[in-house]
Amino acid sequence: MINAHQVKETFRQPGDKGKEEDMAKLRFTVVISGSSGYRTFQVKANDWKEADQIATAIYRSEQPDEPEYEIGTAAVIAGWPKVW
């Protein structure tokens, strides 16, 4: 389960002072499919599975009334490329 602290860590900006372990995490772009369309999230995580969990938790916090069956992961991409 992802806690609020981990979600907050996701939004760190370059140059922010933070934990050394946060700096060692990899960058992922996660595309979440919901009832209103696709949303992309740029997160730092240890692997793609953790990146998926973090992005899904962020999406759920932004869309608390959306049914669970409507939320899905469309893609997890290594790095922070421009998706569209």
14-46 per-position pLDDT tens digit: 555 555 556 688 999 999 999 889 999 999 999
Please state, rounded to an integer, the average pLDDT across all residues of the chain. 81
Domain containing 51 equals 4-78
Q: Is 10 helix (H, G, I), strand (E, B) or coil?
A: helix
Does some domain include residue 69?
Answer: yes
Q: Using an 8 Å Cβ cutoff, are 29 and 83 in contact?
A: yes
Domains in the chain, number: 1
Spell out a b/e string for 33-53, using b for 16 or more CB atoms within 10 Å of the CB, else e.
ebeeeebbbbbbbeebebbbb
CA distance 75 to 54: 13
- pTM of this structure: 0.69
- Residue-wise pLDDT for 62-80, tens only, equals 999 999 899 999 999 999 8
Does some domain include residue 84?
Answer: no
pLDDT at 3 over 70: no
